[in-house]
Structure 1
């Protein structure tokens, strides 16, 4: 990917911020909503408003810019890059499908960090089969009442509002609608899951018990929500991949520095071909995945089809980054296995994205469907 001058500046600025401001606190950041000072810093850098139109306080940037932000911030703190992803999805949904009033109310808040958004799609019995969701909305005077449970929601513990996918029509994908739901509304309850990584993203469930949503909070048309969600997920799969790749490349950069200074039997580790070839192999694979990811975002910026490329990105980025981080940990020996380095936290965090937003098996099924032109389950 060849960046223009503005994109080079963005990447350099965010890499410096990630290493100086984020990296020192990565292992010690408390669970839950980060302090407002960090959200203010992200807002001042412009990364929360990248996909927010300028008239609503954002920069109206590109999907490629969002990928740069995800990649570079993940070098310092992988979990902080998640705020870029959710802000980008929410901003895309609101600017495209929200009513003017809802867009004007919430887009500036996403850009300035005062509204942390979530996306509620997955359910206890509906994960990759998103067309099987059962959380439902029924019309009432002035709006809709939502009932059901959403699971594995990033920021479930503290998000201020969420795009919520619910059933408003018949079975399957054709009967799903999207709503913008403020999460301080009566009838919303939440719980946060325990997990092996990603503590600060407060992943959990949101239960809706006769939650009233005004009619103007419907995003787009009734029963059109599934297609809207898939549009957003395609570009974000590439941003997810780049966040994983940023963490992987940072781990490899640290390993190069370590191998140049660590001596065994009178020679630096970097003189050992068995060491350097492992790093070279992982570096090449991550650069290949990185190229596919940015190609995906370039297609998205051109409003061109990019579902297959997004699936390639989402499969390769997390899987190959986890492999690279694991190798970096091993090559550092016992110190890499300890708490003095970031490898264990990165590895646990990145593995979570091998699951979230579609597993490798689902991504390969999408690629195969495009190649063979038929549904892969037949």
Structure 2
């Protein structure tokens, strides 16, 4: 084995280090201080979305002619983590732009490319309509029906918990053509949401407020044949194939948000005094921060391990599931302990810590609950014949 190589294993290479520094500088300088104001309104942050587009942080994995950077999964993880360290909701916009790649793979260029260019420029948003009121984690139980008619399909039924649903111009919608066939009977459709047969209803949520979470009701909505997305098998299987990436990126987002809380708390405990000295000198304070520093660092590199496997074309479903159940739990606990270490000041809604906790807590559920992730891991560890 050779030693002293320029880019040894298990650390970022020079390009990734430079990219991390540049995104961190951008996010800290332009987005950090405005997080709380944006996070506590229902107004979509279109100006900031356009700024992300100008800096090439939307649809990063796409080719340059579509507004992307041909970026590998590790670079996309870096972008999600570092933007989340400044503004968690803006990081979700970076994350959500990953849907553009599904359009390129599954739709005709004349339909996909103009929309994708708008997405990467920050002019439009697309959403994923997968969850249903009675579905939750059982994504195979799709009840939104797609009836084939001349020239296309008619969609009927309701999707719920559609993040970005109030602001998106289109939704990639999973519907079934044969309810008895389970996931094999599902299809994906690119549905323009300005159709008069579609109604939207927003949820009053404590977090994700500028992003919105919506229910979409399709009332015999016509979708042309060329708006069916036809790659990668059935509609559901194509969505599930992306979960290994999205679950890992979400893990890095919550870690970035927790790091913001840790950063603020380190500054606070150096300045706050009790019993005649800074409270950083008490082990009840410093040990708590040391524990979270350790756990967040371990979870962070588990996420980059999963992205490294993806970059190498190797299986990483198990690792992605680990990232998705463990990182949100660590982040929620870290932010909560940071609130406690701030004392009565941390309880105030005038500081960002409470809002960080509300925003991050939602990702304990989105993209699959902890129970689902543990089931995925157990199937790999013990065998599906034993755990179901």
1:6 and 1:340 map into 2 onto residues whose CA distance is 38
Alignment match, 2:15: 6
More displaced 10-residue stretch of structure 1: 331-340 or 313-322? 331-340
1:366 pairs, out of 372, 376, 384, with 376
Q: Does 1:74 align with 2:91?
A: no
2 CA distance for matches of 1:318 and 1:278?
Answer: 18
**Residue in structure 2 matched with residue 243 of structure 1 by the alignment:** 253
Q: Which runs of 4+ in 1 moved over 6 A?
A: none
Q: In 2, are the aligned partners of 1:148 and 1:207 still within 8 Å (CA)?
A: yes
Matched, 1:282 2:292: yes
| Partner SS state of residue 353, structure 1 | helix
Cα distance in 1 between the residues matched to 2:142 and 2:160? 11
1:148 equivalent in alignment to 2:153:
no
Query: Are residue 204 (structure 1) and residue 248 (structure 2) matched?
Result: no
Distance 2:292 2:87 in 1: 20
Q: What does residue 166 of structure 1 align with? A: 175
Aligned pair in 2 of structure 1 residues 221, 12: CA closer, same or farther (>3 Å)?
Answer: closer
- Are 1:260 and 2:270 an aligned pair? yes
TM-score (norm 1): 0.95
CA apart distance, 1:222: 9.3
Q: C-alpha deviations, 1:249-268, integer Å up to 9, x for none?
A: 11112111222222222222
Report deviation, 1:376: 6.2
Tell me the CA shift for residue 51 of structure 1.
2.0
Are 1:36 and 2:46 an aligned pair?
yes
C-alpha RMSD over aligned residues: 1.7
Give the match's secondary structure for 2:217. strand
Deviations 1:37-93 (A, max 9, x none): 2121010111113022222121121121221111111112111111111111x1221
- 1:377 Cα deviation from its structure 2 partner: 5.6
- Residue 33 of structure 1: CA displacement? 5.0
**Distance in 2 of aligned mates of 1:198 and 1:335:** 23
Distance 1:367 1:348 in 2: 27
Specify the SS of the correspondent of 1:303: coil
CA 1:222/1:366 → structure 2, altered by over 3 Å: closer, same or farther?
A: closer
The answer as to 2:109 corresponding to 1:100 is yes
Q: 1:125 to 1:231 in 2, by over 3 A?
A: same
Which one of 112, 123, 137 corresponds to residue 128 of structure 1?
137
* Mapping of residues 207-246 of structure 1, within 5 Å: 207-221=217-231, 224-246=234-256
| Aligned partner (choices 5, 15, 19) of residue 28 of structure 2 | 19
Does the 8 Å CA contact 1:175/1:223 hold for their aligned counterparts? no
Return the offset for 1:230: 0.7
How far does the alpha carbon of each residue in 1:240-295 deviate from its partner, in whole angstroms, 9 at most, with x for none?
Answer: 11110001111112111222222222222222122111101111111111111111
Aligned residue pair count: 377
Q: Tell me if the contact between 1:191 and 1:204 (Cα under 8 Å) persists in the aligned partners.
A: yes
Structure 1 residue 221, shift from structure 2 partner: 5.0
Q: Which runs of 5+ in 2 are unaligned?
A: 1-9
